[in-house]
Amino acid sequence: MAPSETLVTIIAPPALDELCINTLRFLAVDMVQKANSGHPGLPMGSAAMAYALWDRSLSYNPRDPHWPDRDRFILSAGHGCALLYALLHVTGFDLPLEELKKFRQWGSRTPGHPEYGKTLGVEATTGPLGQGLANGVGMAIAEVALAARFNRPGHQIVDHFTYVLVSDGDLEEGISSEAGSIAGHEHLGKLIVLYADNHITIEGSTELTFTEDRMARFAAFGWHVQRVERSNDVETVALALKNAREERDRPSLIAVRTHIGFGSPHKQDTAAAHGEALGVEEVRLTKEGMDWPVSPSFHIPEDALEHFRRAVTRGSAAQVEWESRFKAFAKDYPDLAAEFHRVIGRHLPEGWDAELPSFTSADGPMATRVASGKMIEILGPRLPEMMGGSADLGPSTHTNIDGAGNFEPEDWAGRNMHFGIRENAMGAILNGMALHRGLIPYGGTFFVFSDYMRPPMRLAAMNALPVIYVFTHDSIGMGEDGPTHQPVEQLVGLRSIPGMVVLRPADANETVAAWRVAIGRKQGPVALVLTRQGLPVFDLNSYPAVPAGVPLGGYILADSPTIGRPDIILIATGSEVHLALEGREQLLAEGVHARVVSMPSTNLFASQSDDYREEILPADVPLLVIEAGSPIGWQSFVGPRIAVIGIDTFGSSAPGSVVMKHYGFTVENVCRQAHRVLDKPKEKVPCASESPQTMEGSF
Ligand SMILES: Cc1ncc(C[n+]2csc(CCOP(=O)(O)OP(=O)(O)O)c2C)c(N)n1
């Protein structure tokens, strides 16, 4: 069998179709020209195929963009967003023409790349190439998972398609292979990707960099592939879409030979059509050449608008039809219908966090990854919307939900996902699942490999998506694997992402509290940073502040033994909290009264009131920070009297406890540094990790 079918028809587009397509083209051209910024080329070349999709295939309701069973559309090539904004306006979404005229301007609903939450009808924030495609895979996974959970014989209440429009850049990015491979493996037949195969990227022809057979590549991933040679051939694109919808066993890629900057006499098929306005003169020539009025700009012919606006009646009818089907479903399965509304609305079930376990010192030592695994086992059955897994590290990350089955083509009801060694796609798929709604997605890997999924993590934060990351092997304390596997700079890196909450619990009970925070956070991602090595457990009888303290980010775990002001405050996170407690004992023997503040989340602590933060960290008390990570970032607590025992070199391969000792994570060094900061109250004390004793053994 040939890897791809080539579809050709000779039907010229009917006049109305052409009018509508040109309306989209010239709205995009005028938007970019008015802003004097943006990308006219892709919209001009892809308008016809986007029209074929929105006019003939896509099921959506402009008056209710959040209707749960709508088809999803993602413009992965987010730089071409003028096309999407034009579509949203003409089809009747709440995006007035005035907004199109404010393209890329401050405060507009038409930002330079589509932003989820800013513009109704935008299903995902896109722009970093490749991410939108993998988001689509996540949405298609969510669709089949929810269908498996909720559909019943005679009741198809979850039944929609996911469409993605990609460009060369999307398919060049490695994530497209990761995500494409997963989608093919999972037989996601309701995922349909339109590829604007225009042979041009920023630096020129794709002959420079991109010469493999893309069709063969996706066919090898297990996709159904089709090619349409003439981009303006609406009927053929519509036929290819129909074929793709009928192909339920394989995801579909439809490569359409488009022409960047279509119609522009001097810029069509050149990189010049890509990232800048056409220019006044070229706009004039293009409009004249295509029989379009040169002025006024933003011209929308009445016939075209009337045709586009039929989307409103069409969409309302589709939604009404679904609602009546849902009613019948609710009659037969009232509990399931209520459950569907609950998960789509991101409401947690009553009592989901009742009687969570509390561990005692007799349970220790216990690695926080193990405690996290126990929480996943407990929460999994209580929260059937929890679905996730790891990038081939399940036995290490403890991310499995016992008895919940594997998510695989034969069983899309399984909730344990196997992402394979594909962190970047895993992150973007989790985003797609969260964007779809109906699931609480989570994914795990070693903390150091969070670097491989930083791009989707950043987008999760930007989209305010409730995604949970389970990162284990969280410091040099993981030991023998050596510096390639020992995170140093990852903590500060993730903490610096706006909207990301990083939680590094110190023991099993803090881990329970951290999971409670993670599940309860409906807006924005949470990274749980967990140890490989066993840690003592804080008995809640001795440390009653733990459950209420963790959600505040930082709290007093053990106070100065004297009433009133401590001599010094030891701030620590994760495994180093135990060291701080030991240091406190030793300092007491030396006549120094220390308070220990456990700070599992600097992000959450920073969001507390000034009064609370002053209560925990009075401004005039010297601080010693102990954390097996980069010292950068703790400057937010900076005063003249602070020292940090941190790590500003890479790690080393040796048993974890030996590595920790060589890097200065010892009671002796805690006391030495505490005395330094106490003895030198006026001058800035350098990071302890810069001192020779903490450097030894690093190389
Ligand atoms: C990850 C990532 N790298 C780089 C860019 C910058 N960028 C925007 S568009 C583009 C390439 C444009 O080529 P193509 O994807 O074929 O789009 P077209 O030329 O068809 O508009 C690049 C490199 C980006 N948006 N995302």
- What are 119-152's pLDDT values in tens digits? 999 999 999 999 999 999 999 999 999 999 999 9
Q: What is the pLDDT of residue 686?
A: 42
Question: Could you give phi then psi for residue 164, rounded to 5 degrees?
Answer: -130, 135
Q: Which of 486, 473, 441, 439 has the alpha carbon at shortest distance from 460?
A: 441
Q: What is the pLDDT of residue 276?
A: 92
Q: How far apart are CA 602 and CA 544, in angstroms?
A: 21
Q: Is the pLDDT of residue 4 over 80?
A: no
Q: What is the pLDDT of residue 564?
A: 76
Q: What is the pLDDT of residue 6?
A: 61
Q: What is the pLDDT of residue 231?
A: 84
Query: Which tens digits make up the pLDDT trace of 301-315?
Result: 999 999 999 999 999
Peptide bond into 365 cis (omega under 30): yes
pTM of the entire structure? 0.94
The alpha carbon of 77 and the centre of ligand 1 are apart by a number of angstroms equal to 7
Q: What average pLDDT does this structure show over 657-682?
A: 87
Q: Is the pLDDT of residue 3 over 70?
A: no
Q: Is the pLDDT of residue 692 over 60?
A: no
Dig out the tokens for 282 from the structure.
């070229």
Mutate to test the pocket of ligand 1, among 32, 44, 84, 129 (most ligand atoms within 8 A of CB): 129
Q: Is the CB of 206 under 6 A from ligand 1?
A: no
Ligand 1: atom nearest CA of 45 is 20
Choice between 299 and 5, residue whose per-residue pLDDT is larger:
299
Q: Is the pLDDT of residue 696 over 60?
A: no
Please provide the DSSP assignment of 222-261 as one string: T-EEEEES-TT-HHHHHHHHHHHHH--SS-EEEEE---TT
Q: What average pLDDT does this structure show over 269-287?
A: 95
Q: What is the pLDDT of residue 10?
A: 41
**Radius of gyration of the chain, Cα coordinates, nearest whole angstrom:** 28
Q: Is the pLDDT of residue 11 over 70?
A: no
Query: Which tens digits make up the pLDDT trace of 162-173?
Result: 999 999 999 999
Q: What is the pLDDT of residue 637?
A: 62
Residues 6+ apart with CB under 8 A from 484: 448
Q: Is the pLDDT of residue 698 over 60?
A: no
Neighbours of 640 (CB within 10 A): 12
Q: Is the pLDDT of residue 661 over 50?
A: yes
Q: Is the CB of 552 under 6 A from ligand 1?
A: no
Mutate to test the pocket of ligand 1, among 194, 202, 259 (most ligand atoms within 8 A of CB): 202
3-state secondary structure 440-504: EEEEEEEHHHHHHHHHHHHHHHHCCCCCEEEEECCCHHHCCCCCCCCCCCHHHHHHCCCCCEEEC
Q: What is the pLDDT of residue 651?
A: 84
Ligand 1: atom nearest CA of 170 is 15
Mean of pLDDT over the chain: 93
Q: What average pLDDT does this structure show over 576-599?
A: 96
Percent of the chain beyond pLDDT 90?
88
Q: Is the pLDDT of residue 562 over 80?
A: no
Ligand 1: atom nearest CA of 127 is 25
Q: How far apart are CA 491 and CA 623, in angstroms?
A: 20
Q: What average pLDDT does this structure show over 590-616?
A: 95
Distance of alpha carbon 36 from its chain centroid, rounded?
31
Q: Is the pLDDT of residue 5 over 90?
A: no
Q: Is the pLDDT of residue 2 over 50?
A: no
Considering the candidates 423, 510, 576, 627, report the single residue annotated as catalytic: 423
